[in-house]
Amino acid sequence: MEKKTILSGVQATGNLTLGNYLGALNNWVEMQEEYNCYYMIADLHTLTIRNDPETLRKNTLELIALYVAAGLDPEKNTIFVQSHVPAHTQLSWVLNCYTYMGELNRMTQFKDKASKHADNINSGLFTYPVLMAADILLYNADLVPVGEDQRQHLEITRDIAERFNSIYGETFKIPDAYIGKIGARIMGLQNPTAKMSKSAPDPMDKILLTDTADDIRKKFKKAVTDSENCVRYDRESKPGVSNLMGIYGIIKNKTMEEIEEEFKGQGYGNFKTAVAEAVVERLEPIQEKYNKLIENPDKIKEIYEKGDKKANEKANNLIKEVYEKIGLIK
């Protein structure tokens, strides 16, 4: 039976966090055996905010290295750079013409980003979901890994695809959401009610995949908990402790009940130390592989050039079909 296709990507806006790893990359590594996977560096999406050109180039290469260091095999996955596949912007323009203003006005992420970048509310921010739709539909993706904050974007992708198909006949595959493991939503260490974000201004709120062991220990030691001093899972009244339990549970493959039993009668000090050491141990081999890769730019280039070639072949077939159906001459 033919493998189903999965498409996902991460913006090249800085180092990945532990949340990115446990919430996305960790699942991607498991998917590569079962699915036909396309993983892109979403560099075009980063342009909705102002970037330093050199930093953007550096972030892109580092992200490819982190993908591979985290366990994505370039032989089993298509790892490519979004801007190296012109069909993304070609299809995005076409889909813009089949997307309604009212649909884009309802996107909550636009409102959120616009409030954070009030001095740069550009049209790219507004039409961001259309480019995301093009990303997904170009590869006939069956499944798209999404968190709650991206579910709206997948829904508008489905609506656009169904609208186009109803006019021109079956062209796009209608994608479904791939939901990762429960508990993979990692929150901030200083603000455990908000998702851990690489753009968080407080460095103590996030664990970066390239943080030193000492930095990791320091950040977990200062992680927000509560005054009960009891390791018990309760997202509502104990968000900080519950978040740490979620991290520990994923890494150690333990249930919340098993963690509660393991740390029964112990204070938060011992628990935080155990979580920190589990994270240090998990990230150490990733960091070793990353450091070797980042010192070998030719190897990184070889990886993305191979992925770019495969992605272009797939995407070009789809864009040709779309152009023909809408009446653009060859």
- Could you list the active site residues? 113, 195, 198
User: DSSP state, 47?
Assistant: G
Of the candidates 150, 184, 133, the residue with the CA atom closest to the CA atom of residue 20: 184
3-state SS class at 163:
helix
In whole angstroms, what is the distance from residue 3 CA to residue 95 CA? 27
CB atoms within 10 A of CB 278: 17
For residue 172 the two structure tokens come to: 């796009």
For residue 232 the two structure tokens come to: 């018990």
CB atoms within 10 A of CB 328: 11
3-state SS class at 6:
strand
What backbone torsions phi and psi does residue 80 show, to the nearest 5 degrees?
-140, 165
Sign of CA dihedral 146, 147, 150, 152: positive
Sheet with strand 77-81: strands edge to edge: 77-81, 36-41, 5-10, 143-145, 176-178
Helix (H) or strand (E) holding 5: strand 5-10
In whole angstroms, what is the distance from residue 159 CA to residue 156 CA? 5
Q: Which residue has the tokens 């999965």?
A: 6
